[in-house]
């Protein structure tokens, strides 16, 4: 009996302490003028609930507090905005104190010079450098031939396998395609070394920034250090060789006729940014496009007709060029509809550089603003039957030109690699649908937050078309 009383007493003390901590943390952020909302636990905030419940957490908060509320997620106090017009205003007004503000874990791992971390002149330098690497001329003359050659080779022999896990295949496809555009001379052991470290880095970017052994954050930091070591060695070898290289790294380290000279640290951050930014969007879009096309035969028939027409006017060994990519109107619509319905990107983050007023509330300096675009993708006032996969909507209503089109961000932070990513996904889809037909073999259950994924894989039986 005495032991039971002690246990009950301890439980009561724990409950009181927890309640006091929650109340104290809420009081810390009860400054007059702030939007309504809850802040959760000290340090951790509501990150656990946010990552576990995802869209449901956001919907519940919206029901309680409206489309503009405060929280504490991913290590910092945050304002969540779910209003389409207000989101566009936030994205279009970086000069008014709303700069990029990604989570600390992401900044620490991707680097302080990555394009998402800098603003002002440094942002113009990094963005200019990146755009010079993926200009239309570079795309047509250098990048697309590499992408085409890689996709042809990568997709060979899938019909000889019993099953194909498309989730794993598209992940490796997106990573390898980007890596070979960056440094086409890497050997297989070197590629494997980059791959191992890169996947650890990706996991670490969405973690609580607590540097303890065994945490995803510590693993991500270590992976980034290892990638820096590999890149430093490669850059040194190339400079010592005196050879000319026509891949992205070759142009980044070249000093002649280079308008955007970067330091070695900036080059390493730029390379990691290119790898990271395209990896998840391209791989997830490619996987989910195949899923939606499988479930909607009419869309698959229309898309395949478009790609077979391209093959009919080309020699069997003739690669895709920029004109071919531009002619893929329905494929582009499928990619947009996939990105919208699967919500490959849930939103973007901004940070206030000074105290400011927004939507009638006072937002303190240093707070993050999460422009949460997920719910906009399913807004019935913007998209008719939003839960239905309908790529034709993009052709009929020119939705890409609408103010609520934020699938690739907006304003000065509009994704500079948008067209490159679309080209990679389009090339993958092109060779897949012209070579193969497929049927699902199990593991199709999907998780939609914080990343779109198939926990048990997305397995297909691939057959010759």
Structure confidence at residue 250 (pLDDT): 93
Alpha carbon 434 to chain centroid distance? 27
CA 156, 159, 164, 170 torsion-angle sign: positive
Structural contact between residues 389 and 334, judged by C-beta atoms closer than 8 angstroms: no
Six token digits for residue 378: 């399913």
Over residues 110-121, the mean pLDDT reads: 87
Q: How many CB atoms lie within 10 A of CB 111?
A: 22
- What's the burial of 242, exposed, middle or buried (CB within 10 Å: 0-12/13-18/19+)? exposed
The Cα 239–Cα 311 span in angstroms is 41
How distant, in Å, are the alpha carbons of 103, 107, 193, 204 from that of 351?
A: 10, 13, 35, 21
Superfamily of domain 102-435: Cytochrome P450 (1.10.630.10)
Domain boundaries, the chain: 1-73, 102-435
Q: Is 16 annotated as a binding residue?
A: no
114-153 in b/e form (b: 16+ CB < 10 A) is bbbbbbeeebebbbebbeebbeeebbeebbbebbbebbbe
Contact 70, 369 (CB under 8 A): no
Answer whether 108's CB lies under 8 Å from 221's CB: yes
Q: Residue 65: its pLDDT value, please?
A: 92
Contact indicator for 424, 174 with CB cutoff of 8 Å: yes
Mean pLDDT across 67-92: 86
Query: Cβ distance 300 to 433 under 8 Å?
Result: yes
Higher pLDDT pick, 166 / 47: 166
Alpha helices by DSSP H, listed for 313-405, are: 322-327, 329-342, 392-396
pLDDT tens track for 94-114: 878 888 887 788 889 999 998
For the stretch 307-354, pLDDT in tens is 999 999 999 899 999 999 999 999 999 999 999 998 877 888 888 999
Q: Residue 68's closest CA among 52, 92, 91, 84?
A: 84
């Amino acid at each position: 009996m005495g032991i039971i009383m002690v246990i009950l007493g301890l439980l009561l003390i724990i409950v009181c302490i927890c309640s006091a901590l929650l109340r104290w943390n809420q009081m810390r952020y009860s400054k007059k003028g702030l939007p309504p909302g809850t802040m959760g636990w000290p340090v951790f905030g509501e990150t656990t609930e946010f990552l576990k419940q995802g869209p449901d957490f956001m919907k519940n908060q919206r029901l309680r507090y409206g489309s503009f509320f405060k929280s504490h997620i991913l290590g910092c106090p945050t304002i969540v905005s779910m209003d389409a017009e207000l989101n566009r205003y936030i994205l279009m007004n970086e000069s008014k104190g709303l700069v990029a503000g990604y989570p600390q874990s992401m900044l620490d791992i991707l680097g302080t010079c990555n394009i998402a971390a800098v603003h002002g002149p440094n942002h113009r330098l990094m963005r200019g450098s990146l755009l010079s690497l993926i200009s239309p001329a570079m795309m047509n003359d250098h990048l697309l031939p590499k992408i085409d050659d890689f996709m042809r080779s990568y997709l060979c022999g899938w019909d000889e396998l019993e099953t194909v896990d498309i989730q794993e295949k598209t992940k490796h496809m997106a990573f390898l395609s980007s890596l070979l555009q960056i440094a086409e001379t890497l050997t297989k052991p070197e590629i494997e070394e980059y791959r191992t470290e890169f996947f650890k880095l990706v996991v670490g970017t969405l973690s609580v920034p607590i540097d303890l052994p065994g945490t995803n954050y510590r693993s991500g930091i270590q992976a980034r250090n290892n990638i820096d070591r590999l890149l430093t060695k490669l850059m040194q070898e190339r400079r010592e060789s005196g050879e000319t290289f026509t891949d992205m790294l070759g142009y980044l380290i070249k000093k002649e006729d280079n308008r955007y000279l970067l330091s070695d640290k900036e080059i390493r951050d730029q390379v990691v940014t290119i790898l990271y930014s395209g990896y998840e969007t391209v791989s997830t879009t490619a996987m989910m496009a195949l899923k939606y096309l499988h479930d909607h035969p009419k869309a698959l028939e229309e898309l395949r007709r478009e790609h077979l027409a391209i093959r009919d006017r080309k020699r069997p060994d003739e690669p895709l060029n920029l004109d071919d990519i531009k002619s893929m109107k329905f494929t582009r619509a499928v990619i947009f509809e996939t990105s919208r319905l699967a919500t490959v990107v849930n939103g973007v983050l901004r940070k206030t550089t000074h105290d400011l007023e927004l939507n009638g509330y006072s937002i303190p300096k240093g707070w993050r603003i999460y422009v949460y675009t997920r719910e906009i993708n399913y807004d019935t006032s913007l998209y008719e039957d939003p839960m239905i996969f309908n790529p034709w909507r993009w052709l009929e209503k020119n939705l890409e030109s609408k103010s609520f089109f934020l699938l690739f961000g907006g304003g000065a932070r509009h994704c500079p690699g948008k067209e490159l990513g679309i080209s990679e996904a389009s090339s993958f889809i092109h060779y897949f649908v012209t070579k193969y037909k497929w049927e699902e073999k199990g593991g199709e259950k999907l998780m939609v937050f914080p990343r779109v994924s198939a926990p048990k894989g997305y397995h297909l039986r691939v057959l010759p078309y």
